[in-house]
Amino acid sequence: MRFPERIGTMALLNATEYTFQGEGITASYFPGGAGGPLVEGRPEVFFTFQDHHASKVFGEQDVDVKQIENVGALISVALVKGDIEGSPVTTFTVFVPEVGVAPDSPQNFKTKSITTVQAARYVEREVFPALQIYKVDHLDGTASIHPLPD
């Protein structure tokens, strides 16, 4: 039986695929990549996101993973970014708990995601309104192990 690898008291993500669904969102995270590239000339897929606004695929360099003791992992991707410094940014972040997974035993869990809309910051000001707006969604997650293509 394979147990999660640990750093101190934190377990690392040991599944090869994490899927999230709920409130119109479908997303998948592949910690070691999904194999590929799935599309010629594109990087290997590490995260996919779909809602009623958009469908996006992200390579390893576009996925930010933060391990937080007693919380799990926060997996973030920028859904919308402007080309100009200070442009608005929309970020999707999902909470991934520690889950022990075996090849024949996917594990289900409940989690939350936060979509953050960061307002434009073109001009530095001393007094300004809140720059971030948050939307929290409740998601059903599944952690599983699948053989990856060579």
Chain centroid offset of residue 77 CA: 6
Predicted confidence (pLDDT) per residue in 46-58, tens digit: 999 999 999 999 9
Residue 66 token pair: 């933060």
Half-sphere exposure of 143 (CA within 13 A, CB side): 18
Instruction: With beta carbons less than 8 A apart as the criterion, state whether 140 and 108 touch.
Output: yes
Task: Give the single-character DSSP code of 32.
Answer: T
Predicted confidence (pLDDT) per residue in 27-36, tens digit: 999 998 886 5
Q: Which of 150, 133, 146, 149 is nearest to 28 (CA)?
A: 146
The band of 43, judged by pLDDT with boundaries at 50, 70 and 90, is: confident
pLDDT at 38: 57
| pTM for the whole structure | 0.83
Query: Does the pLDDT of residue 137 top 50, yes or no?
Result: yes
Q: Which of 24, 67, 72, 18 is nearest to 47 (CA)?
A: 18
DSSP assignment of 58-73 equals E-GGG-EEEEETTTEE
The band of 10, judged by pLDDT with boundaries at 50, 70 and 90, is: very low
Chain centroid offset of residue 20 CA: 9
